[in-house]
Amino acid sequence: MKTKSGSACSLCGSLDQSVAIDLVGVESRGKVGNIGTVAEERDASGEHLRIRTQTPEGARSHELLAYGVVSLNIHGPTQTGRKGEGRALDTLLSRLREEGHQPVLEAGRDEQGEDGILLLQGERLTLQVVSVPSCPELWRDANRDSATTAVSVADAAKWIRDAVLAKVTNTSPAERATTIVVLDAGLAGVLSAHEVADAYLALYGDPHPEFGLASIWLVGPTPRTTRRLGTQRYGAVQQ
């Protein structure tokens, strides 16, 4: 990883509008809204994925998944950790609604390690949010100015596993069955690509039977870039 000079620019997110553009050899989708702007592109082969994100607060990222390598270039100020929880949870709820569910979000108790409470399918589920990549140096350097890193898809899968393990080790076995781990990839949406999820499952197996969590979600900057990792204890949500 290396840092380099750069300046973050801000963009008003007050306009709510969707844009889809078809180019020769490229599928391009854009979204303007309270998350800022997001542009996602895949080439004609489907093997190369590029995502550009800019938040209303001024953070921006340029992400690429190609030839088995995940590349990230992130400029601060980032809204990770507690600052990013609201956006991540809103995106997850939007994804669940797209799948035909009627989720209800309630405030969690910080002292109990609850980032939110999700009422879904007659259950009361605890939400725990953690930022990915699980790389503190990356976020530190991005908030100072900018940070760039490139890793293999296998190493990107390990980022995800490290983040899950950090939450699991602090959650009692009795609580795991009603806990959803939300991996906030708002500035690293390529981590929710099927290539990374598939690599995780190939390397480590399904995390649901291993950890006993209700489910694990990779939450990118939009519902489209949000997916469940492995199986889940409740219901059946289609990918």
pTM above 0.75, yes or no: yes
Angle, vertex CA 204, rays to CA 140 and CA 174, nearest 5: 85
Distance between CA 127 and CA 90 in Å, rounded? Answer: 12
Q: What is the pLDDT of residue 17?
A: 33
218 bridge partner residues: 183, 227
Low-confidence ranges of the chain (pLDDT < 70): 1-35, 80-82, 84, 110-113, 234-239
pLDDT digits (tens, 9 = 90+) for 200-214: 999 999 999 999 999
Q: What is the pLDDT of residue 33?
A: 52
H or E element at residue 94? helix 85-98
DSSP for 181-213, please give it. EEEE-TT-GGGGSHHHHHHHHHHH--HHHHH--
Eight-class DSSP state of 110: G
Cis bond before residue 77 (omega within 30° of 0): yes
Q: Where are the alpha helices (DSSP H) in the chain?
A: 85-98, 136-144, 153-168, 173-176, 194-204, 207-211
Domains of the chain by residue range? 2-228
Q: What is the pLDDT of residue 76?
A: 83
Supply 73's token pair. 């270039």
For 91, list phi and psi in degrees, rounded to 5: -65, -40
Distance between CA 39 and CA 141 in Å, rounded? Answer: 24
Instruction: Name the nearest CA neighbour of 189 among 104, 95, 57.
Output: 95
Widest CA span in the chain = 52
Q: What is the pLDDT of residue 111?
A: 62
| Contact call for residues 100 and 34 (beta carbons, < 8 A) | no
Which position has the token pair 């990839």? Answer: 185
Distance between CA 179 and CA 202 in Å, rounded? Answer: 24
| Contact call for residues 217 and 159 (beta carbons, < 8 A) | no
| Contact call for residues 49 and 41 (beta carbons, < 8 A) | yes
Q: What is the pLDDT of residue 34?
A: 55
